Amino acid sequence: METLSNILAQQPMMALFLTVALGYLLGEVNIKGFSLGVGAVLFVALFMGWLAPKSAPAPMVGTLGLALFLYAVGVQYGKQFFVGLTSTSGRRANLIALSGVLLSGIVSVLFMKLSSLPLGHALGLFAGAGTSTPTLQAAIVQLGNDDPAVGYSVAYPLGVAGPILFLYICFMVLKPKIQAPTGGGIEMLEIAPEDSALKGKTIGDLLAGLPAGIDIAALRRAHHNLPASRSMALAANDVLLVTGPSREALEQAAKQLGEVHHGRVTGDRRDLDYVRIFASRAAVVGRSLGDLKLPEGRPHALVQVRRGDADIMPRPDLVLEFGDRIGMLAHRDDFAALRKFFGDSIKGTAEFSYISIGFGMALGFLLGAINFPLPGVGKLALGLSGVLIVALVLGKLRRTGGLNWTIPLSANLVLRNLGLTLFLAQVGMASGPKFAATVSQTGFLMLGLGAIVVVALVLPILLLGLGVFKMPYDEVAGIVAGACGNPAILAYANKLAPTDKPDIGYAMIFPGMTIIKILFVDIVPAVLGG
């Protein structure tokens, strides 16, 4: 064992990537539906840190990993975060999360009063239960000693495993029906208007009375297919190519319009043919469809935009992202010009601007380093939360002049998962020795106190979200992940509920709750005279 420890200490990079490999291997172990996923990296890292304390990577590795993760999440979900702050459901979600965060803080302080627990240990338990490194850093700075690191090292693994276990139990008990994205395409139907009263009405007039999500992409007139526009008026014998999100919606539209036809529009491709093009050109990404000046030539129409596994109707206000696949009806002779206009490079959809990510990360670290005065307490620094806040703002802006802040979805996922993995591995390897020493010295007392703090954080959110407000499971899972803060919890929530709601909930909740946690550890010592 000593030989192995020496080898790992001499090869810290080997130890790091061995930890990553073993962590993901352990995370794939499934016991009756329960598996740790990427969270297992932390527990393998704790063991590796105990086995070979000198093999731990430099703290900058973990800082870089967490910063990459926060930046990728913020850029991807900036728009949803700010919508959440202004919406009723978003404010409700933040208040639910706040109840758990404040209760866990109060419980930590009560432990200090009732069991003679040092203030530093109590604040460390609070920071560890919420898996908040910025909170730990703020507590150490505020108290001027490393006591919070002891409580943090004990509670941190519980802060990861506890919420995951709660989410698993709720999932197994409630058995929620979660509709995962199917990736099904937009449906099309050819309809010939029968009612003579419809003749002379414009396409815009027709769409106003049709179900939500229905659009008219093209029409056939005098044996020719034409792209439809809202100002175009119907004529006798027109056949409409109607698109919609589902067959049911199209059938409802057919009942309102007229007789269903097959093959009259789609069977003739002389005037219009279908082409799918990748959006990879920097000049079009980050701009709304309504602002694009498409190449001049024969008339053409945008039918759909496919983003990831979902199809999106091409609304004028829809902002293009790298990797979007644009479905168009156009003349074949115009295909080359359209491909050149949008880029149509699969390679380009996996690339991103190092200029934008460099400036964005730099601004985030700068914001995190600024000390903001807080009356009655002193000064407050946001730390790594500054990276997330800047990323959320840039994610909402999407584009500033010629600088595009978005990151292709595929590249975003790679950055996010790489950052998450490095962060968990570094923190676990660095905390391993202290975790083992603390547990051996205090027995299971500190572990028990840490578990109670975690319960105080998670249980109110689940009771309020699922029990009182009857919210969907995937929304509540996102609130839990955002309030608890650890990316591994979000990854597990995504595994149980493969929708975008956990990610949106995390992005909407995490920044505010991180700031609340930092404020708590700054204010409590000032109030208690610690």
User: 149 and 284, same structural domain?
Assistant: no
User: 191 and 170, same structural domain?
Assistant: no
Is 48 a domain residue?
Answer: yes
User: 162 and 220, same structural domain?
Assistant: no
User: 139 and 203, same structural domain?
Assistant: no
Residue 146 lies in domain: 2-63+91-175+428-528
User: 228 and 170, same structural domain?
Assistant: no
User: 118 and 36, same structural domain?
Assistant: yes
User: 149 and 52, same structural domain?
Assistant: yes
Distance from C-alpha of 163 to C-alpha of 498, rounded to nearest angstrom: 17
Which residue matches tokens 């007039």? 205
What CATH number should be reported for the domain holding residue 196? 3.30.70.1450
Select from 150, 96, 86 the least CA-distant residue to 118.
150
Q: Could you tell me the two tokens for 379?
A: 């000064």
Neighbours of 291 (CB within 10 A): 11
Q: Could you tell me the two tokens for 371?
A: 């000390």
- Residue 178, helix vs strand vs coil: coil
Neighbours of 477 (CB within 10 A): 34
- pLDDT attached to residue 29: 82
Task: Transcribe 306-327 into DSSP letters.
Answer: EETTEEE---TTPBP-TT-EEE
Select from 450, 505, 492 the least CA-distant residue to 125.
450
Distance from C-alpha of 420 to C-alpha of 20, rounded to nearest angstrom: 11
- pLDDT attached to residue 258: 81
Is 320 a domain residue?
Answer: yes
Is 75 a domain residue?
Answer: no
Give strand ranges (E) for 76-222: 187-193, 215-221
Q: Of 308, 328, 349, which residue is a domain's last?
A: 349
Neighbours of 317 (CB within 10 A): 8
Q: Which helix (H) or strand (E) holds 226?
A: strand 224-227
Distance from C-alpha of 312 to C-alpha of 358, rounded to nearest angstrom: 31
User: 325 and 442, same structural domain?
Assistant: no
- pLDDT attached to residue 306: 87
Q: Of 323, 349, 375, which residue is a domain's last?
A: 349
- pLDDT attached to residue 21: 94
Is 260 a domain residue?
Answer: yes
User: 192 and 168, same structural domain?
Assistant: no
User: 273 and 132, same structural domain?
Assistant: no
Q: Is 429 exposed, middle or buried (0-12, 13-18, 19+ CB in 10 A)?
A: buried
Whether the predicted model's global pTM rises above the 0.85 cut = no
Distance from C-alpha of 254 to C-alpha of 207, rounded to nearest angstrom: 12
Q: Do 88 and 110 meet the contact criterion of CB atoms below 8 Å apart?
A: no
- pLDDT attached to residue 507: 78
Angle, vertex CA 24, rays to CA 23 and CA 28, nearest 5: 115
User: 171 and 200, same structural domain?
Assistant: no
Is 79 a domain residue?
Answer: no
Distance from C-alpha of 412 to C-alpha of 345, rounded to nearest angstrom: 17
Residue 77: DSSP 8-state: H
- Number of independent structural domains in the chain: 2
Is 81 a domain residue?
Answer: no
- Residue 38, helix vs strand vs coil: helix
- pLDDT attached to residue 463: 96
Is 42 a domain residue?
Answer: yes
Is 192 a domain residue?
Answer: yes
- Name residue 486's beta-bridge partners: none
- Residue 104, helix vs strand vs coil: helix
Q: Is 387 exposed, middle or buried (0-12, 13-18, 19+ CB in 10 A)?
A: buried
What does the pLDDT profile of the chain (530 residues) look like in tens digits?
Answer: 778 888 888 888 999 999 999 998 988 887 766 566 776 787 888 889 888 888 888 888 988 988 898 898 888 888 877 877 888 888 999 999 999 999 999 999 998 888 778 898 899 999 989 988 778 877 887 887 777 877 887 888 889 889 999 999 999 999 888 765 554 567 888 988 876 667 788 888 888 888 877 888 898 898 889 998 888 888 888 899 998 877 888 888 888 888 887 778 888 888 899 999 998 887 888 788 888 888 877 888 888 888 776 778 888 888 888 888 999 999 999 999 999 999 988 776 666 778 999 999 999 999 988 888 877 666 767 777 788 889 989 988 888 887 888 888 778 888 888 988 898 888 888 878 877 777 777 767 888 999 999 999 999 999 999 999 999 999 999 999 999 988 788 888 988 888 878 888 887 888 888 888 988 988 888 787 65
Q: Of 349, 379, 409, which residue is a domain's last?
A: 349
Q: Do 358 and 405 meet the contact criterion of CB atoms below 8 Å apart?
A: no
User: 269 and 214, same structural domain?
Assistant: yes
